[in-house]
Chains A and B, each alone.
Chain A
């Protein structure tokens, strides 16, 4: 078994702070949406705005971190090994096949993760931030005192913001499940907590490979 340092301190701090903020945003956001009552509307709005501003601050720092450390390159989508990764989730995982892509400090994301996180960072989160800012700072057309950002109404902004929120929930569900697909069920979680992730060492990979191949062959002979 190998142990590799994958997630740096800031990255872990960022991840867990973001998790907390996103949960608060979702929980208060859907109260504002009218889905349920918990904090009370006024408080929900207040917490939502507070969380949103905190989130923005975190985003600013994180963008800086990504460029300062060159970590942003991790998110450039690639098609290399993409098919293997998809095959792993669809078939290999059930046969205890080894992970097709090796996680390293320089490449911590598999091709599918790269694609999803790229979408998240370039489309979904900007959409939520942009509509969220409009939501906070829009102004009705009006003569006199307040006139900066005029829009006709909230409908489009609110609808897109809500759509984004639903997609985030779907992402979280898939994300929380997929972290169980590491070397062991908890190895990904441990990695995000400690920074160190456990991997199969070369021996284990070898073993797994032969085991899954022989299992395949067995299945074939049975079929014949």
Chain B
């Protein structure tokens, strides 16, 4: 009996040992490895568009090209007519305002301010053709520009000042025969150049992403997976997943890191738990504008200065414009450390006609909501673009000025350099009152930072936030070890230590003295 027991024990031990050894050798695929495998496979198109006759016949105008696309791709036109890329507007619920339409169509910003009267220039980036006036027909499917997003030939560009029409040099047949899924170059043709130049607006989206390695962006780097925008921003019925809070308000249809990486991607539990209050981007994007500078400050109030009656420009040490007669003074930043704010996925915006309660304060063009107490809020990195822009001193509203015009003398600021006329014209166009008394007010615009994700080795380290003067020094509402301390306890503790030391030293000294005396 005893023998059997011992045998069983020995056999059990051997089995357990074998199981342990064998399971150790089986390395389970991590989430990251799975993703790397999944995204390293490139899809190839199932059809060759150059074989289609309809795309070989010359197009009289770009609208004809769209009509040709829609003959096969039925139903896609309706989808596009409802998309934000075409409407430049979304129906959104805004806290305190109710349901509102917000988008580039009606919002103001603190870069080139707004599209009203400037459509020919701004709407070059519209996914449509010919939006050069507010009476534009948003119901005509032929106005959709399929090619700007689906050109895979790299030859398609839109005309400067052409209200979204293609450049004269574009061979529409050639482009139409080489269509496919959108690539970085397609998305980038607009999203890299917002604000009138490369990386002006976002700071983390610019054309260097097309040629940089994983040191700039782990996802898009050529030496990595070289991912496309649509890998993370897939479209459902031509509605792209994800949006930016410069133009949207609701916590819905967001593209999140956790969609792929899960909410617990780290080995260390303590870091996974950070994600309850800290967005992935906060640690994984230590700096933005890593290659080319981005605009950090734009002062419109100095615009309009002329030399010998002519507009001029000045450059900073990086070779970026620091002054332009048409736009004013700029400050640029490279390798910028983001600022940090609480954000719960909802935002408010300055809407045309909103009264500025205190014009000595900074006007927030968009306000990101959230706080420590908010269950949905996380700390996110932002670029805050600060500026000074024109407003109506009597009516206390921001002004939509008329900036661009193809000819001089129509009142546009960029040709005539007269704020009075430009304001008059712009405000009248968007059906707003203008008192005739303009001034300049400080404004801020918040741009969540999502790109230029660094390699994990260069992620923000603990001490960069957990220190007295760290990255999160201005993010309030909570106690953070290393940054915060109770002033009273720290003082009290120090006093207790000093008193104990003094008591001990005093007592010791007396003992020595008294012993000395006794010896005598």
Cβ contact within 8 Å between A142 and B375? yes
Residues of B within 8 A of A180 (CB): 508
Q: A154 contacts which of B461, B481, B492, B500 (Cβ < 8 Å)?
A: B481
What is the CA–CA distance of A33 and B503 in the complex, to the nearest angstrom? 27
Which residues between 471 and 489 of chain B lie within 8 Å of chain A, taking CB atoms? 478-486, 489
What 1/0 mask marks residues of chain A from 144 to 187 whose CB sits below 8 Å from any chain B CB? 01100000111100110011011101100110010010000000
B433 at the interface (CB under 8 A from A): no
Residues of B within 8 A of A93 (CB): 507, 511
What is the CA–CA distance of A169 and B485 in the complex, to the nearest angstrom? 18
What is the CA–CA distance of A45 and B501 in the complex, to the nearest angstrom? 28
Which residues between 25 and 67 of chain A lie within 8 Å of chain B, taking CB atoms? 32-34, 37, 40-42, 45
Residues of B within 8 A of A153 (CB): 372, 478-479
Cβ contact within 8 Å between B497 and A34? no
Cβ contact within 8 Å between B463 and A162? no
A215 at the interface (CB under 8 A from B): yes
Q: Which of A94, A143, A174 has the most CB of B within 10 A?
A: A94
Q: B501 contacts which of A32, A37, A173 (Cβ < 8 Å)?
A: A173
B171 at the interface (CB under 8 A from A): no
CB closest chain-B residue, reference A172:
B500
A104 at the interface (CB under 8 A from B): no
CB closest chain-B residue, reference A174:
B500
Q: A155 contacts which of B276, B479, B500, B503 (Cβ < 8 Å)?
A: B479
CB closest chain-A residue, reference B373:
A152
Distance in angstroms from B203 CB to nearest chain A CB is 28
What is the CA–CA distance of A33 and B468 in the complex, to the nearest angstrom? 9
Distance in angstroms from A183 CB to nearest chain B CB is 14
A96 at the interface (CB under 8 A from B): yes
A141 at the interface (CB under 8 A from B): yes
CB closest chain-B residue, reference A157:
B479
Known: A142-B375, A170-B496, A173-B501. A94 touches B479 (CB 8 A): no
Cβ contact within 8 Å between B486 and A34? no
Distance in angstroms from A143 CB to nearest chain B CB is 7
Distance in angstroms from A158 CB to nearest chain B CB is 6
Q: B486 contacts which of A143, A162, A170, A177 (Cβ < 8 Å)?
A: A162
Q: B514 contacts which of A95, A145, A152 (Cβ < 8 Å)?
A: A95
A16 at the interface (CB under 8 A from B): no
Residues of A within 8 A of B500 (CB): 170, 173-174
Report the count of interface residues on A (CB-CB < 8 A).
Answer: 38
CB closest chain-A residue, reference B465:
A41
Known: A159-B489, A174-B504. A166 touches B273 (CB 8 A): no
B457 at the interface (CB under 8 A from A): no
Cβ contact within 8 Å between B497 and A169? yes
Distance in angstroms from B256 CB to nearest chain A CB is 14
Residues of B within 8 A of A152 (CB): 373
Residues of A within 8 A of B270 (CB): 45
Residues of A within 8 A of B497 (CB): 166, 169-170, 173
B493 at the interface (CB under 8 A from A): yes
Cβ contact within 8 Å between A162 and B485? yes
Q: B485 contacts which of A33, A45, A94, A142 (Cβ < 8 Å)?
A: A33
Residues of B within 8 A of A215 (CB): 518
Residues of B within 8 A of A139 (CB): 273
Residues of A within 8 A of B263 (CB): 145
Q: B277 contacts which of A45, A94, A140, A155 (Cβ < 8 Å)?
A: A140
Residues of B within 8 A of A155 (CB): 478-479, 484, 486
What 1/0 mask marks residues of chain B from 260 to 300 whose CB sits below 8 Å from any chain A CB? 00011000001001001100000000000000000000000
Q: A34 contacts which of B373, B466, B493, B514 (Cβ < 8 Å)?
A: B466
Residues of A within 8 A of B485 (CB): 33-34, 162
What is the CA–CA distance of A174 and B503 in the complex, to the nearest angstrom? 9
Cβ contact within 8 Å between B467 and A41? yes
Residues of B within 8 A of A96 (CB): 514-515, 518
Residues of B within 8 A of A158 (CB): 479, 481, 484, 486
Cβ contact within 8 Å between B468 and A166? no
What is the CA–CA distance of A104 and B77 in the complex, to the nearest angstrom? 96
What is the CA–CA distance of A158 and B478 in the complex, to the nearest angstrom? 12
Distance in angstroms from B127 CB to nearest chain A CB is 37
Which residues between 100 and 124 of chain B lie within 8 Å of chain A, taking CB atoms? none
What 1/0 mask marks residues of chain A from 82 to 107 whose CB sits below 8 Å from any chain B CB? 00000001000111100000000000
Residues of B within 8 A of A159 (CB): 486, 489
CB closest chain-A residue, reference B514:
A94
Distance in angstroms from B515 CB to nearest chain A CB is 7
Cβ contact within 8 Å between B276 and A34? no
Residues of A within 8 A of B466 (CB): 32, 34, 41
What 1/0 mask marks residues of chain B from 492 to 520 whose CB sits below 8 Å from any chain A CB? 11101101110110011011001100100
B31 at the interface (CB under 8 A from A): no
**Known contacts A158-B481, A170-B496, A170-B500, then 8 further A-B pairs from the complex at CB < 8 Å, ordered by chain A residue:** A34-B483, A42-B462, A94-B511, A139-B273, A154-B481, A162-B493, A166-B489, A170-B497
Q: B-contacting residues of A (Cβ < 8 Å)?
A: 32-34, 37, 40-42, 45, 89, 93-96, 139-143, 145-146, 152-155, 158-159, 162-163, 165-167, 169-170, 173-174, 177, 180, 215
> 8 A-B pairs, CB-CB below 8 angstroms?
A33-B481, A34-B468, A37-B463, A41-B463, A41-B482, A139-B273, A155-B478, A165-B493
